[in-house]
Structure 1
Amino acid sequence: MVRIPDREWPATVVPGDAHERAQATGVLFRRLGWVTARLTADERDDVDRQLEFWYGNGYCPDALLIAVGVLPGGARQRPRSAGERPGEFLRSRLNGWFSDEPGAAMSEVREPPRPGQTFEAWFARRRKQTLDEGGYRRPSRLTAAGERARAQAREIAATGRPDPVARVRESERRRTAALDSLRVTGPAVPAAPSPPETRATPRMVASFAGRQAVAAHSPQVQRIVARLREEKRGPSPAELAVLRNAVRDAHHDAGLGALAAVSAEVNEDTGELTPPARRIRAVLAHAADDGLPVEAAVRLLLAGPSTEDDHTMR
């Protein structure tokens, strides 16, 4: 059976089965502007039952649109109010299209205001119209050469294509073989000795610990951290930017302080040292070759000299 998209369902066709009724109802809802209406399951069942009754009596979507707009005598019906549900609207507007002839059954209805047609009749008429207008052409049959080409294409498709993984592996194998062919044969060349491992000296560890101590004792850093601890929250983006700048400034001051501390050790002149330089010099004074890991040495240096240096700076 021929099927067409829901939005192309003709409004002059009387639906014959459940699928066609759903398509016709969709056309009716779009024409009435009810696409966005939210219906409960009971309301949807009520609407479907009413429309199935009218579809069964020969009403198409176009006939229903006319029936809810005017009465059989031509009088206009009132428009749908804001609080009126779709089921109530259909029931009250279509009530005037029941037959009022003497002796008529309660379920007998008037003739539709616009006659409908079956889907098959509509489709045959549209096809004939398309043929008359020259817009429809039957597909031409293939020639003998075309049939041979089609059979050849089907054979090629049936054989399948090479495995892509196998193709990549073969490409890698050829590349490896080509590189091996370029290898120079001869006496083995000794490998260059690896550079000696650079180990952290006690002085390097002490300098690093001093810079960390300067950053930790920065007034700006301490003020921001104290506020965050008091408010029990994380830093905001603005506070995080200020904190990063404060730590960066403290590291800069610590670098200058490290140079001043080393120079003071050489010249034995500690009178003009800045607070960061005095703090780093105090840490350097406690540098010892204990053979400890770097992390442990940094913890000991930060725990010891900082207290002494705080007393010195006071």
Structure 2
Amino acid sequence: MAFTPQTWPGRVIPADREQAELATRKLFGELFPGHPVTSQAIAILNRWFDAGWCVDAIKVALDNLPEGREGFQPRRGDQESPEDFLVRRLRKWFREEDDDFERNARLAPPRAGQSLDMHLRLKRQQQINDGLVSRPRRLTEAGQQARRQVRERAGKGRPDPIARARARDARVQQALDALAVDVPPAHAGEGENAPDDRRDSQLVAAYAARTATVRHDPTVRRILARLTEERRRPNAQETIILRRAVRAAQQRASLGTLAAATADATNEVLNPDAQRILTYLDHALNSGLTLDQTLALMHTQVDTLDTP
């Protein structure tokens, strides 16, 4: 259950720093409205919360003296800060016996507190007594039997995943054996690594085509030519324009790749970007060279075709 400083129960003793901060903010909201909750105030009240005091007990102690002591608590001064006020008022609630060797020993709180769990249980019981919450109904015989079955299944644990995988593979193999059809392996006679080599070369060609699309973009070429001629780095405005141009070229390359992949099925007229990508795919090769060397070779071949 989530609490706010306004809804924090005044009789609950904070059990951790988060609850102590909620209690401190509740106290400040009631006694010092408008004043910020400082780390000094949190540190002062944390020591009292650690000693078993709650917000209601601190409020009573601020207005009263311990039992058996005469006098009264002086009012808060106009220039007195909330932190000084807390220290001055709560100082009266330290023990003063000569035989007490415990440093900073505090008296028993003037109002007993309770834990958060106890507060929630009492609140729940009060809601049940007031008819706000219905009492939990007892399970029927069928419900109790279902509970026992669920507990038995949970106690057995889940099946071994390896055993499930082996059983699934066995069922698949039985289904294949029942078909009794000999299916020749794909790409038979092309060598052991032929499919992988062809796929790798196509991936390299597609990558080369996308980089070429960016490289041939007019805006990119114009900015790079200017920077090369002036031998300088791009300024902030040129960097923004260059990034936008590269991003737009990458998007066109993605659309061109899709159009080139479906060119045979749709018979549509390809735009220049898609045609360039299709040309690169047609020149996919497995040269055994490094990636940079393969890219340079493909760029040279395609650029030679584009040159009149």
TM-score interval (norm. to shorter):
0.3 to 0.5
Question: Taking structure 1 as the reference length, what is the TM-score of the superposition?
Answer: 0.40
